Chains A and B, each alone.
Chain A
């Protein structure tokens, strides 16, 4: 009989295994990065009950604390700390500025309460003009690199965070306060 004349089927050349592995590893790595970023953006602001990580922040000249030009949260243990995020371009911030100043005036001599203003993405001349306009004298400083606002995961300004003597967040105020009494209503129970 004759030899088989059937031609052997041509070898199918696909993507080499090593290339497939690399492609899948890169794809999975990218997906992981996207997942982490999405999870971070969908996280809300820090919630009551959360312990606030320590942070340090520079202060405007003339708005220092205890003679220093920097404030560190861990140095304020044992006191109620009110962290207020604001900006000179923020109109709603102006609604509560005078009330915050008044509240500070009523607590500053107790030594048990500290107000810290965090100026969010602002320019220093406008920030100073804002502080002078409302007669605010408690410690204020710029949020350089938006590090502090990212720590609190704020969604906008104004936002106010009330931290107790152990460094635990007790209350979040999103938007401006409407009166001094509202501010005191949050602080007074924390002092008991």
Chain B
């Protein structure tokens, strides 16, 4: 048997053996939530301790722990609403960037547009009143008399002219 043939036989046997090996199941790796995914939710929450600081930009250690908690919950399949509800249950509704639409919180959503509409209505009404007297003012040369005597005098002059 020549050398080349020998090598061919060895290769062929190796390939055969590889095919006979039991196939191993490949497990899909759990995707780790990206920073963007975590911050997208963290941006909708406020730091429970630091005032007026969104959770995605808060630099404290505690905020880092809360962002890690969000990451862990996302990897466990929690939805955005579930995560936000968890934070509201744990730390109060004040951590939500958008107040829940319950109770007196409705005022936050209703009052501003109502005030804007009312203000616009009042402004339009005022502008209408400003322009109305100007349209009704008499043409030059035909000024309305300022008192009754002047009116009578002008009437007499017209008769005589």
Contacts and interface: CB of A to CB of B under 8 A. Distances in A.
Interface string A125-149: 0100000000000000010111100
Nearest to A157: B49
Contacts of B132: 10
A146 B92 CA distance: 6
Overall SS of chain B's interface: helix
Contact of B129 (A13, A87, A142, A147): A13
Contacts of A10: 132-133, 136
Nearest to A156: B49
Interface stretch (B21-29, B33-41, B147-155): B147-155
B91 A121 contact: yes
Interface of A: 1-2, 4-7, 10, 12-13, 15, 23, 30, 87, 89, 121-123, 126, 142, 144-147, 150
Contacts of B147: 6
B155 A6 contact: no
Interface residues of B, number: 32
Contact of A87 (B62, B66, B69): B62
A121 B152 contact: no
B102 interface: no
20 contacts: A2-B152, A5-B145, A5-B151, A5-B154, A6-B144, A6-B148, A13-B125, A15-B122, A23-B118, A30-B111, A87-B62, A89-B60, A121-B62, A121-B91, A123-B66, A145-B91, A145-B93, A146-B91, A147-B92, A150-B92
Interface of B: 48-49, 60-62, 65-66, 69, 88-94, 111, 118, 122, 125, 129, 132-133, 136, 144-145, 147-148, 151-152, 154-156
Q: Which 3 A-B pairs have the closest CB atoms?
A: A89-B62, A121-B48, A2-B155
A125 to B, nearest CB: 8
A30 B112 CA distance: 12
Contacts of A142: 90
A19 B92 CA distance: 38
A15 B125 contact: yes
A116 to B, nearest CB: 19
A5 B157 CA distance: 14
Contacts of A144: 89-90
Given A15-B122, A126-B65, A145 B155 contact: no
A146 B129 CA distance: 54
B144 A145 contact: no
A45 B145 CA distance: 73
A146 B148 contact: no
A121 B69 CA distance: 13
Contacts of B90: 121, 142, 144-145
A152 B148 CA distance: 77
B144 A7 contact: yes
Contact of A1 (B62, B65, B152): B152
A7 B146 CA distance: 10
